[in-house]
Homo-oligomer: A and B are copies of this chain.
Amino acid sequence: MQPAGGPMSDRRQSRLERMLARLATQKACLEFAQRELAGRPGVLLELGLGKGRTYDHLRKLFPAREIHVFDRAVHAPPDCIPPADCLWLGDLREQLASPRIAALQVALVHADLGSDDSAGDAHLAAALAPLIDGLLDAGALVLSDREMQVPRWRQLPLPLAARGWAYFVYRVDR
């Protein structure tokens, strides 16, 4: 993403530009998923509530679907806090292994996990990928801000409006 030049070069992206690119990419990926999943049943899993922005957009795009949301703690504004029976606080790996989650039919997983620690993020993504995979049937989608490698997942090209920021779209193939 970062063009040539030092951090104070005129050609670098500012934090304002990077945030705009990231949010526009997320919006485009979520809207791609909305189109792709039309007519396919299943709940949504949002890994990382954060400020609740993408959760709020998912609610708007998928008003009829249950959205289960996972985070360590709640930092979202009050109007973006999921109902108690759809909010899973604590260690993500433990929560994803819960029998109530395992019993769900999941259409989409959105993993918005990235931090400034890219080695830690890669480690977390590698640990989560098989857990996520265990919840999915063929045809389900995974959107992630970190690369995940699962043999039966096929990476799809990003929607055009999502090409200003690194994001990963996978479909479970079989």
A-side residues, CB < 8 A to B, are 7-8, 10, 12, 14-17, 19-20, 23-24, 26-27, 30, 51-54, 56-57, 59-60, 63, 77, 79-80, 116
Contact = CB atoms under 8 A, between A and B. Distances in A.
Contacts of A16: 23, 26-27, 30, 53-54, 56-57
Mostly helix, strand, loop or mixed at chain A's interface?
helix
A26 B15 CA distance: 12
A52 to B, nearest CB: 6
25 contacts: A7-B79, A8-B59, A8-B63, A10-B60, A12-B60, A14-B53, A14-B57, A14-B60, A15-B51, A15-B52, A15-B53, A15-B57, A15-B77, A16-B23, A16-B27, A16-B30, A16-B54, A16-B57, A17-B27, A17-B57, A19-B53, A20-B24, A20-B27, A23-B23, A77-B116
